[in-house]
Amino acid sequence: MTKTGLALLSVVVGLLAPTARTFAAATPAPASNPPPADRPPRAPGGFGGPIQLQPDDKPAFDDPPAGSDTKRDGIPHGRLEMVEYESKTVGTTRKMQVYTPPGYSKDQKYPVLYLLHGIGGDETEWQRFAHPDALLDNLIADAKAVPMIVVMPNGRAQKNDRAEGNVFAGGPAFAAFERDLLDDVIPAIESRYSVQADREHRALAGLSMGGGQSLNFGLAHLDTFAWVGGFSSAPNTKPPEQLVPDPAAATRSLKLLWLSCGNKDGLIRISQGVHAYLKEKGVPHVWHVDGNGHDAKHWRNSLWLFAQRLFKPAV
């Protein structure tokens, strides 16, 4: 597992006290003797609960080819820039990274993907391990994704929004980001960029803590987002019955609901529970389980797969 993955794993558990206590109770102290052969495997380091894979827990798609997020010569490139906006929710000026696709022009209207980070990250986290600008440039050049704007805000809605000190104390700030996203981030983007400002052209997705935020906020605001994705969503994810209280409305409104996780991720039970509920209620969705853990490779691969399915007619 990467250092990024380990760092995120170490802090997610402490985010919500009840969930942390549940994990602590479920995770025994290391023993000198090996566990019984019939005991379900755990994630590396003993993180999270036991991993109990179900028949549905399989890849829906092949992994990306090598170099999917490597900058290629000979193709058009978009632009990645850091922009500031005034947050009424937080009461300060905040930052977010914005990708505009190759050939961006105010004469064209673009759909927007709002892409959220994990509890140990900030507005630069995606760029550190996935290079979304290169990844999108490559997909667009290969006609696998439509030209889109990608917005990477800071999901920690507090004045000191750095991932420093006691990151556990930032839990309420991640919840408060719901209002910052809806009331400040989206209006700022739609006032500065040439976008298609309707639900059919807005997507929300994220990794780990950001995956939980995306499911929580996206599914609660189907009038704002039609495309929602959670990549190895963390314990901040609401129970499925709260996420989708009206399965029929979700079915009518959503263009795509994406859930993914790695089969070596000790948090897989969270996404498994959402998938099982959606399946029981007949809500169409993608359930993709690959061979990774709670790590950068899963998140990078998930973005590559998810982006190709955005803002296109159902097939």
How far is residue 147's CA from residue 86's CA, in Å, rounded to a whole number?
27
pLDDT at 163: 87
pLDDT at 165: 78
In order, the DSSP letters of 142-179 are TTSS---EEEEE----SSS-SS-S-GGGGHHHHHHHHH
> Beta strands 79-87 and 92-100: pairing type?
antiparallel
Q: Residue 224: what residue type?
A: T
> Buried b / exposed e across 258-272, counting CB within 10 Å, b at 16+?
bbbbbbbbbbbbbbb
**Per-residue CA distances from 285 to 48, 60, 255, 267, 306 (Å):** 25, 11, 9, 19, 12
pLDDT at 242: 98
pLDDT at 170: 74
Domain ranges within the chain, ordered by starting residue: 3-26+39-160+171-307
Whole-angstrom distance between the N-terminal and C-terminal Cα of the chain? 35
How far is residue 124's CA from residue 95's CA, in Å, rounded to a whole number?
10
pTM surpassing 0.85? Answer: yes
pLDDT at 55: 97
The dihedral built from the CA positions of residue 154, 155, 157 and 158, taken in this order, carries a sign that is negative
Please identify which residue in the block is written with the tokens 């006609």: 143
pLDDT tens string, the chain, 315 residues long: the values are: 444 443 444 434 333 433 333 333 233 333 333 334 344 565 654 467 899 999 999 999 999 999 999 999 999 999 999 999 999 999 999 999 999 999 999 999 999 999 999 999 999 999 999 999 999 999 999 999 999 999 999 999 999 999 887 776 778 999 999 999 999 999 999 999 999 999 999 999 999 999 999 999 999 999 999 999 999 999 999 999 999 999 999 999 999 999 999 999 999 999 999 999 999 999 999 999 999 999 999 999 999 999 999 999 876
pLDDT at 315: 63
Residue 29's contacts (CB-CB under 8 Å, 6 or more residues apart) are none
pLDDT at 168: 65
Q: What is the CATH number of domain 3-26+39-160+171-307?
A: 3.40.50.1820
Closest CA to 127 of 102, 167, 154, 158: 154
pLDDT at 166: 73
